[in-house]
Amino acid sequence: MKSFTPSLGLLATYIVGTQAGLRFPCSTLTSQRLDPAAQPGALPSAHLHMIVGGNAFNATMEGDVAERATCTTCQMAEDFSNYWVAHMFFKDPKNGTYHRVMPQPVQPLLGGSQGAQGGLTIYYTQFDLSKDNLKQNPVKSFPPGFRMTVGSPTVTGKPHAGLSYQCIQGGNRGALISTFPTTKCNGGIFTTHHFPPCWDGKNLDSPDHQAHMFNTVKSEYFDAAPACPSSHPVRMPQVTFEITWDTTKFANLWDPAKDANPFVWSFEGTAAGTHADYMFGWKGDALQRAMDKSECFYDGCGSIKKQAMSEANKCTVKDFVRENIDGCMFAPTFHLFSYGVLC
């Protein structure tokens, strides 16, 4: 399968010919320095995240998230999972100040999902984007309490396959690259995170939040899922996040001919440190029902309850960390006490 960078027309073609997996938007739930997967209990965590999903989100999260949540910013009304990524910032090349880059809904969104605010688009694919292959490759839902991460803020060089950037120009997502684009992207910077799909069948988590999963992802694309290894024999849904970061309002503040790429993650690090976190929280067997069927493709899923994004957008959590994350800032990273200091 080639790069999935569809125009609306192309996407329609995919849908007619295929039935494989869920794809749906989730609006931003909150942006805070919290990280219940990698830094449980830390209030605040080391760097700022953009979080979507259910309102059980908190500094510490144990047990069945879906039991505690009462609303979700996701279009799938039974999905109280949380999904989060590092926040993107613009670091002004003239004076070194930081400004938050906002996410905007991935386009195109289908089937009444318009109205998402910020956030990201989630995929749960069974095999690849064109078939589910369920007979050969049944898919097991994640158990309550399950969490995992992909990528790491400390990685340098090249990110793991499946973690990528694209420069959106005139509605076209452009080539998949493994670092921040070096040109201006008039449609924003698009990022993708593919999670590993093979589970050890035992552990809800592991010390590095990754060892309980085996990563079969070998390219930046929605590849066909190969067999899982005997160490991690359980085939799970292939989870993917897509995000459009709206870099356009910073376009006249830098000059690609003179300045290096001015976009950074909240942990600074490098582009290779792009990472994402997943905390499972579907209600009961809702995800298993979806994964057992061939009927789910994109948001056209008969047996799964959906909600209007106008309803999803009402879901919030409290501001646990209570610090400034907007406006012009010095040093938005690491430094516990200077975080969010206004210019």
Residues that bind ligand NAG (CB under 6 A): 58, 60, 92, 94-95, 97, 253, 318, 328, 343
241 contacts 163 by C-beta, under 8 angstroms: no
Please tell me the distance from the alpha carbon of residue 226 to that of residue 215, in angstroms, as a whole number.
10
At 192, list the tokens: 């993708």
290 contacts 301 by C-beta, under 8 angstroms: yes
- Nearest of 338, 331, 335, 334 to residue 95 by alpha carbon: 331
Please tell me the distance from the alpha carbon of residue 4 to that of residue 6, in angstroms, as a whole number.
6
Q: Which is nearer to ligand NAG, 136 or 252 (CB)?
A: 252
Q: Which is nearer to ligand NAG, 218 or 335 (CB)?
A: 335
Q: Which is nearer to ligand NAG, 92 or 268 (CB)?
A: 92
Q: Report residue 50: phi and psi, to 5°.
A: -105, 120
Nearest distance in Å: CB 96, ligand NAG: 8
Residue 342's identity, in one-letter code, is: L
Q: Report residue 7: phi and psi, to 5°.
A: -80, 170
Q: Which is nearer to ligand NAG, 71 or 291 (CB)?
A: 71
Q: Which is nearer to ligand NAG, 290 or 329 (CB)?
A: 329
* Spatial CB neighbours of 88, under 8 Å, sequence gap ≥ 6: 100, 101, 189, 245, 247, 263, 264, 265, 266
- Nearest of 300, 305, 299, 302 to residue 286 by alpha carbon: 305
Q: Which is nearer to ligand NAG, 308 or 343 (CB)?
A: 343
- Nearest of 77, 78, 19, 27 to residue 50 by alpha carbon: 27
Nearest distance in Å: CB 94, ligand NAG: 6
Q: Which is nearer to ligand NAG, 43 or 110 (CB)?
A: 43
- Nearest of 178, 190, 251 to residue 6 by alpha carbon: 190
Nearest distance in Å: CB 98, ligand NAG: 10
- Nearest of 262, 263, 218, 213 to residue 243 by alpha carbon: 263
Nearest distance in Å: CB 41, ligand NAG: 8
